[in-house]
Amino acid sequence: MPVYVYAITTATHPLRLDDLEGVGDPPAELYAISDDSLRAVVSQAPEDLAMGRRDLEAHHAVQERLWADGSTLPLSFGFVAADEDAVRAVLQERAEQFARALEEVTGRVEFNVKAVGNEEALLRDVLTGSEEARRLNEATRDGGGAYEDRLALGQLVAQEVQKRQEALAAGIVEALRPLTRAEQLSPPSGQYFLNASFLVEDSGEEAFSGTCAELTQQYADVAELRVRGPLPPYSFA
């Protein structure tokens, strides 16, 4: 029978799961599959698992409880194994790798930092800093100018905005890097020009959060920083 896997823990983890419910409707009962020094926290996998609010909340509630009580390797939502034997096989085959990963995240938390650009401010910056952009903008104002001028202006602005966003992202990461143990950078998306996760020592949470607050103020005119954390180390499991 397929099982839904939430996280991997050490065999000594207290696993306070009695008052929690797993994914599915009705909610599945949580239990552990053990192999020597490791355990996987699982439940029976529902036939119609979907990324709905109730199941997402159940998944994250289990993750948060486990992390509050000890180090874990949290799995992303939706991880399903073929059966319990398949889970035991993975615990056996990758025991050393899991042990190293658990040691790496012990005493550390994850922070996620996203940045959204202020398009109007960045456009003003481009027009201020680029003579060619100003020329093309004047030529095409109020619908004037040739099609080629409008196309050239759009391409130039897009390129210059991207360059400025890349510089902003690099500056934010460089400011935070000395306060972290590890980092994971995701490619820019349509919404975020920066999406970075950082592994931070428990003792460094305050310093990291303080630096994020300073960066938020520093870049307030051109970008919005969105900081989440401390979190279980999803990106480093």
The pTM of the full predicted model, rounded to 2 decimals, is 0.77
The contacts of residue 161 (CB under 8 Å, 6+ apart) are 117, 119, 122, 123, 126
Distance CA 49, CA 232 (A): 23
Average pLDDT, 10 consecutive residues per value, the chain (237 residues): 94 90 91 92 88 88 91 91 94 93 91 87 64 59 59 65 86 96 90 94 95 95 92 86
Predicted pLDDT of residue 90: 94
CA dist., res. 127 & res. 124, Å (int): 5
pLDDT at 150: 59
- Per-residue confidence (pLDDT) for residue 218, from 0 to 100: 94
Other Cβ atoms closer than 10 A to 149:
16
pLDDT score of 141:
65
Please report the pLDDT score of residue 234 as a whole number. 86
Looking at residue 1, its pLDDT comes to 87
Fold classification of 109-236 is Alpha-Beta Plaits (3.30.70)
Q: State residue 36's pLDDT score.
A: 82
Give DSSP secondary structure letters for 41-97: EEEEPPTT----HHHHHHHHHHHHHHHHHS-EEEPPTT-EES-HHHHHHHHHHTHHH
Domain borders along the chain are 3-106, 109-236
